[in-house]
Amino acid sequence: MRRRSGGHPNNFGLRLWFALSSGQVGHYAFRIGARPQGGFDVQEEECRIGAAEALGEVQYFRVESGQVAETTQPGPAAAIDRLYLVNASGLPAFRPVYEALSRMGFYSLNPDSMRDLQSPDAGDLLARDGSHIASVLAQLKKNNPSRKERIEEYLSRVVPGVRGVDVKVIGPKETLEFRQQVAGLKDPWRFLAANMSDGTVRALGILVALFQSGNGAGPRVPLVGIEEPEIALHPAAAGLLHDGLKEASRNTQVIVTSHSGDLLDDERLDPSSILAVYAEEGSTHIAPLDRAGRAALQGRPYTPGELLRMDQLRPDPESSPKQVDKQVRLFDRERT
């Protein structure tokens, strides 16, 4: 995450606020520092879990320079070169946090990886590039067939003519087999993934990533992030894809990066769900929309896609690093 620096500090930190399916809320934070001779140390790490109404017992730990400084759940020793949450995942109090973070799925899908013959996998979480998609689809068919059917319904709308997709076993490997309707024939023809277009394979990968949380093979996938889902899709399919994103968000949190006005051409899109990304003096910042953009969307004279094409989806200047304190509080013991 940190490759080059013009000076100090030579570390970086991250703080995540979370709400677990149990209703518990909390945060997890860490700071990573660079060693003078190369390599990295975990300088500090902290996790705190409590009830949503701040009632009941609070669980927490704090680690400093490889030593457990405070904890409500005595457990394994810490090490300075690794995150303590991995060790603490063996404790019932902290396991839900570890599972929630480790089961997030972030995707930059590669059609070639999805076309390749694949070794069977547990199929509980789709890989970042979409590989092992056959195993994930097999688990959906076994544990939640209605969710697989929903994927096929969306796929048939995004790619007209496709009637379904199944797993095809070839020796010790597996791949995908698509059913494609051909004019003049009663039954659809079957094509292996190697014979399908990038757009078709990517569309399936996006849908599987979105709806995989219902496969029943393990804990649900709490968050899915997809980079530019509109790539290789016909612009007319963007609206259908948006419907799929919205439906999937009822069961899992969805984050999408996009340059597509077609994907944003939906007047129902909540302005508060849109963030603008911009670069300033070598740094990348993410901020809510400015007042003019929010007003245009709330009054509904424009869709977000139309504002994007006019370059009017601008970040709120009040969120500029020059207007706010750059040094956020990472740990509870720090002052704001």
Exposure of 165 in the CB half-sphere (CA atoms within 13 A): 33
Model pLDDT for residues 87-132, shown as the tens digit of each residue:
999 999 999 999 999 999 999 999 999 999 999 988 889 999 999 9
Q: Which amino acid is at 234?
A: H
Q: DSSP code of 193?
A: G
Give the helix ranges, DSSP H, for the chain.
84-88, 95-102, 111-115, 133-143, 145-158, 198-211, 238-248, 291-298, 304-309
Distance CA 12, CA 124 (A): 31
Q: What is the mean pLDDT of the chain?
A: 87
Please tell me the predicted confidence (pLDDT) of residue 54. 54
Model pLDDT for residues 301-313, shown as the tens digit of each residue:
788 999 999 888 8
CA 119 to chain centre: 24
Please tell me the predicted confidence (pLDDT) of residue 90. 93
**Fold of the CATH domain 104-254:** Rossmann fold (3.40.50)
Q: Tell me what the mean pLDDT of segment 212-238 comes to.
A: 82
**Nearest Cα to 46, choosing from 22, 16, 2?**
16
Question: Which class for 92: exposed (0-12), middle (13-18), buried (19 or more C-beta within 10 A)?
Answer: exposed
Domain ranges of the chain: 1-102, 104-254, 264-336
Model pLDDT for residues 9-41, shown as the tens digit of each residue:
778 899 999 998 888 999 999 999 988 777 889
